[in-house]
């Protein structure tokens, strides 16, 4: 049984920037040689999250619209009144989406659906450098 | 330490069809003989998700209502304008709920609360055949 | 490879009581001596959930406001009409947030962001005693 950690890094533009990271995660899986197991994904930070979606620009915009209904940018936030960061909505969006995800590895591949991609969602109100931590576990 | 993969399959009716899969997951746990560990659950596909809830028809309808407020069926979606699938709302709902879940195994049983069931939520706009991938890890 | 289970217990006040449990989780990590691995967190029960957020009272209130928009306390719930518990909104909130979370352990520490804390969210409409189940896995 192997347990291997990897770190992926991304430059994001903020403002609910959504990036497809599937190819990078799949490459890490191949490089470990794990044939049967799983990969845990985690994004450090309180203004970003992870999920899966079809990476198609129309539905990505639809997701942004839904997130904006859940935690609108243009309403008052107590966080902003206190700290003046202007990113209270970013924190709330990140907490609702969640920072972690787990995907099975079967026959050396991520067991995703055909139209299912892994996405990093950066909700902060400015460009950021982000890390996604992978932990790959399983049998070669 | 054992790592065992299992696949459960379901026929769903779509349109936010919510199925109780707790019994099937518990049976898989028993069949592996794992006494102490955890089970990772993942649903492949971009129009379905997993969570836990009390499987009682009243609150299941309450959950459907809340999801319909977050991503209403009857508003325009960019995904539908481009692809004509009519299931833009399904993709958004699935991305918000998430595809993965992890449950501890203690003394050979799922460590769920008394009124807590594991549910598959199919948000697609038509019947589907779904797979739920389980990875059971732990000590016998 | 070690797999160790721990249980944390908390008294909550209900009504979307949000508690910072980061210090307790970090202490468990240190006590196991695991240097490289991950911790799975799970909350049993159908009216509570787990996520991460900056534990700052302003943004905690902002999160409560967003959750109240998603599943308002003061609308009718089918669950309440049937069972009279008055906590239909609690069940819906818990199902939307989710019961599980996974955090990497790197160099013996939780790999959280600087302003990212682990929080227990108790959505029930009365005080509860809660357990959070930890499963720590990895290499010493």
Q: Which helix (H) or strand (E) holds C103?
A: strand C100-106
Q: What angle do CA A48, A52, A57 make, to 5 degrees?
A: 90
Q: Do C59 and A91 touch (CB under 8 A)?
A: yes
Instruction: Output DSSP code: residue C15.
Output: S
Average the pLDDT over each of B73-82, C3-12, C87-96, C115-124 and give the range with the smallest value: B73-82
Rounded distance between C-alpha atoms, residue A82 and residue B125, angstroms: 44
Q: Angle at the Cα of A135 (from A132 to A139), degrees rounded to 5?
A: 150
Are A114 and A35 in contact by the 8 Å Cβ rule? The answer is no
pLDDT the model gives residue B84:
86
Structure confidence at residue A45 as a pLDDT band (50, 70, 90): very high
Identify the CATH number of the domain defined by range B2-139: 2.60.120.460
Q: How confident is the model at residue B64 (pLDDT cuts 50, 70, 90)?
A: very high
Which of A3, A77, A82 is the closest to C139 by Cβ?
Answer: A3
Q: Name residue, tokens 């990271």.
A: A21
Quote the CA–CA distance of A42 and A25 in Å, as a whole number.
12
> C98: burial class by Cβ within 10 Å (0-12, 13-18, 19+)?
buried
Closest residue to A38, CB basis, from B1, B40, B70: B40
Parallel, antiparallel or unpaired: strands B17-20 and A100-106: unpaired
Residue B95 pLDDT grade (very low, low, confident, very high; cuts 50, 70, 90): very high
HSE at residue B50, side-chain half, CA atoms within 13 A, is 28
Confidence band (pLDDT; 50, 70, 90) for B85?
confident
| Helix, strand or coil, per DSSP, at residue A132 | strand
Contact residues, chain A to chain C, C-beta under 8 Å: 1, 3, 5, 40, 42, 44-46, 70-71, 77-83, 88-89, 91-92, 94-96, 98-100, 102, 133, 135, 137
Are C38 and C137 in contact, with CB atoms under 8 Å apart?
A: yes
The pLDDT of residue B82 is above 90? no
| Angle subtended at Cα A99 by Cα A96 and Cα A101, rounded to the nearest 5 degrees | 110
Both ends of chain A: CA-CA distance in Å? 8
Instruction: DSSP for B14-46, please give it.
Output: -SSEEEE-HHHHHHHHHHHT--EEEEEEE--SS
Judge contact between B59 and B123, C-beta under 8 A: no
Assign C90 to helix, strand or coil.
helix
Domain extents for chain A?
2-139
Phi and psi at residue B32, to the nearest 5° = -75, -20
Question: Mean pLDDT in chain B?
Answer: 97
ipTM: 0.97
Pick from C37, C52, C55, C117 the residue to mutate for testing the A interface (most A CBs within 10 Å): C52
Q: Distance from B50 to chain C by nearest Cα, in Å?
A: 9
The 3-class SS string of B45-113 reads CCCEEEEEECCCHHHHHHHHHHHHHHCCCCCCCHHHHHHCCCCHHHHHHHHHHCCEEEEEEECCEECCC
């Amino acid at each position: 049984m192997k347990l291997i950690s990897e770190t992926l890094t991304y430059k994001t533009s903020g403002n609910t920037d959504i990036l497809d990271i599937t190819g990078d995660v799949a490459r890490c899986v191949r490089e470990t040689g794990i044939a049967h197991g799983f990969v845990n994904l985690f994004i450090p930070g309180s203004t970003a999250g992870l999920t899966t979606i079809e990476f198609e620009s129309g539905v990505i915009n639809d997701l942004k619209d839904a997130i904006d209904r859940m935690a609108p940018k243009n309403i008052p936030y107590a966080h902003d009144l206190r700290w003046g960061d202007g990113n209270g909505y970013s924190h709330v969006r990140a907490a609702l989406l969640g920072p972690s995800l787990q995907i099975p590895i079967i026959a050396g591949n991520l067991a995703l659906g055909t139209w299912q991609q892994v996405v990093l969602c950066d909700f902060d109100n400015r460009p950021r450098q982000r890390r996604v931590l992978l932990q790959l576990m399983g049998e070669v």
